[in-house]
Structure 1
Amino acid sequence: MTITQLHYVLAVAEHQNFTKAAQKVFVTQPTLSMQIQKLEDELDVLIFDRSKKPIELTETGKKIVQQARNIVNESDRIKDIVDQQKGFVGGLFRLGVIPTVMPTLLPMFLNTFIKKYPKVRLKIEELHTEAIIEKLQDGHLDAAIAATPLELPNIKEQVLYYEPFVGYIPPGHRLHSQKKIEVDDLDLNDILLLEDGHCFKDGILNLCKATRNANGDRFQLETGSFETMVKLANEGLGMTLLPYLQTIDMKENEQKNLRMFSEPIPAREVSLIFNKSELKMQIIEALRSTIAGVVKGAIAFQNVKIISPLSKK
């Protein structure tokens, strides 16, 4: 049994296809098939059910893949130890970022990071939290930036910043004349929300502690765009809530419609999250320190109340 064979097994388990798996690990399909066959012969079990289309893991194969992932991670740790000992910060690093953080945070730190750490090859994906967790657990991401706490035993979290919720309340709305708003002022049926799948929406639902009355909706909205919700609010279709960084570059005439909450200000916790295996920690720390440095001046709120992104069923 070799580490290479385990890499091949994981590739086939991911792609459920020998040809695609071979392309992923840069070998010919016959070579990959032969190595997996050798492993199955050595173990005297079938890892894959080749009669199924797409290929499926056998019950024993599922357990082997789980252990193979652990072994491959531990083998990667050896190179990681050497890199850390040499002080080397480089190589491919796969980072996931949730959609409600990507457009505001990424421009703040990316240029600084790539200039400071030119040997790191960042591959950045915009993903919802559910997909991020799955990819972290499967080893397809090295780290991610997401709203926390997530309360997962196999995921570690390093808090980057606390980002307040801000009300966007256009003229004519019942709350527009207030200098500050209270959580009790909110009516969920009056708030324009992001589509399902966004943790920021779940945070708002948790903040309001109420259920939306679907029967009272004049229209149904499915959007992942804060800009769309602001434009709809400007048309008199309600108010919305925005993350603080989203409000910094708004037009001057729109900033007049922003309202902060009274303290303690409801806020989301944004963290760098990664697998408990803690691989590539030197790059994770480089990211953390870079982001912390750029957001320190942008977000200086102290008295905040963290609103969980965990969806309450």
Structure 2
Amino acid sequence: MTITQLKYALAIAEHQNFTKAAEKCFVTQPTLSTQIQKLEDELDVLIFDRSKKPIALTDVGRKIVYQARNIVNEADRIQDIVDQQKGFIGGEFRLGIIPTVMPTLLPMFLKNFIKKYPKVKLKIEELTTEEIMTRISDGHLDAAIAATPLESDNIKERVLYYEPFVAYIPDHHHLKDKEKLKVEDLDLNDILLLEDGHCFRDGVMNLCRTIDETAEDHFQLESGSIETLIKLADEGMGMTLLPHLHTLDISDKMKQNLRQFEEPSPAREVSIIYHKSELKMQIIDALFNEISGIIRGAIAFSNVKIISPISR
């Protein structure tokens, strides 16, 4: 049994296809098939059910793949130990970022990070929290930036910053004359929300349910982007809530529609998250230090109440 064979097995389990797995592993399909056959012969079991389309794991195959992932991760840790000993910060690093953080945070740190750590090859994807958690657990992401806490035993979290919720209230709205809002002023039926799958939506809904435990999903208008929510609010469709960083670059006219909350302000916790195996920690530490250093100048809030990003 070899590490290479285990990596091939993981690739087949992921792609459910020998040809695609071979392409992913940069080997020919016959080479990959031969190595998997040798592995199965040695273990005297079938890992994959080749009669099914797409190819499926057998019952024992699922257990083997689970253990193989742990073994491959631990083998990768050896290279990590060497890199850390040499002070090397480089190599490929796969980073996921949730959609409501990506457009505001990425421009703030990416250019500086690339300049400071030119040997790191960042591969960045915009993903939902659910996709991020799955990919970290499966070993397909090295780390991610997401709203926390996530209550996952497999994932570690390091808080980068706390980002307050800010209300966007257009001229015609009944809350327009309030200088500062109370959470009790909110009505879930009057708030434009992001579509299902966004953790910021769940945070808003959880915030409103702290007022009314019986609140139901009566809203009818949802959108995939915060910019669209602002435009819909301007058209008289209601009010909306924004993450603080999204309010920094809007026009001066739009800023007149912003309202802060009374302290403690409702806020989301944004963290860098990674697998409990703690691989590539030197790059995770570099990202953490770069982002937290930059963000301190943009967010000075301290008296906040964290709203859960998990749908209740």
**Are 1:31 and 2:58 matched, yes or no?**
no
Indicate the SS of the match to 1:123.
Answer: strand
Matches within 5 A, 1:115-194: 115-194=115-194
Partner residue, 1:195? 195
Partner residue, 1:94? 94
> C-alpha displacement at 1:213, in angstroms?
4.9
CA deviations on 1:91-121 (whole Å, 9 max, x unpaired) are 0000000000000000000001000000000
Partner residue, 1:51? 51
Question: Residue type of the partner of 2:257?
Answer: N
CA deviations on 1:3-49 (whole Å, 9 max, x unpaired) are 00000000000000000000000000000000000000000000000
Indicate the SS of the match to 1:41.
Answer: helix
Distance 1:213 1:34, change over 3 A: closer
Question: Residue type of the partner of 1:134?
Answer: T
1:309, 1:213 → 2: CA distance? Answer: 17
2:6, 2:216 → 1: CA distance? Answer: 49
**Mean Cα deviation higher: 220-229 or 232-241:** 220-229
Question: Residue type of the partner of 1:145?
Answer: I
> C-alpha displacement at 1:221, in angstroms?
2.7
2:24, 2:9 → 1: CA distance? Answer: 12
> C-alpha displacement at 1:236, in angstroms?
1.0
Partner residue, 2:238? 238
1:231, 1:191 → 2: CA distance? Answer: 13
Partner residue, 1:80? 80
Partner residue, 1:250? 250
Partner residue, 2:306? 306
Question: Residue type of the partner of 2:165?
Answer: F
1:281, 1:293 → 2: CA distance? Answer: 18
1:52, 1:222 → 2: CA distance? Answer: 39
Runs of 4+ in 1 over 4 A off after TM superposition: none
Residue ranges of structure 1 left out of the alignment (5+ in a row): none
1:135, 1:285 → 2: CA distance? Answer: 20
Normalised to the residue count of structure 2, the TM-score between the two structures is: 0.98
Partner residue, 1:204? 204
Matches within 5 A, 1:252-291: 252-291=252-291
| 2:192/2:222 contact within 8 Å kept | no
Question: Residue type of the partner of 1:275?
Answer: H
1:246, 1:146 → 2: CA distance? Answer: 15
CA deviations on 1:106-151 (whole Å, 9 max, x unpaired) are 0000001000000000000000000000000000000000000001
> C-alpha displacement at 1:260, in angstroms?
0.2
1:171, 1:221 → 2: CA distance? Answer: 20
RMSD (Å) for aligned C-alpha atoms? 0.7
CA deviations on 1:66-95 (whole Å, 9 max, x unpaired) are 000000000000000000000000000000
> C-alpha displacement at 1:172, in angstroms?
1.5
Partner residue, 1:227? 227
CA deviations on 1:259-302 (whole Å, 9 max, x unpaired) are 00000000000000000000000000000000011100000001
User: Number of aligned pairs?
Assistant: 308
Question: Residue type of the partner of 1:265?
Answer: S
Partner residue, 1:7? 7
Indicate the SS of the match to 1:197.
Answer: coil
1:302, 1:132 → 2: CA distance? Answer: 28
> C-alpha displacement at 1:237, in angstroms?
0.9
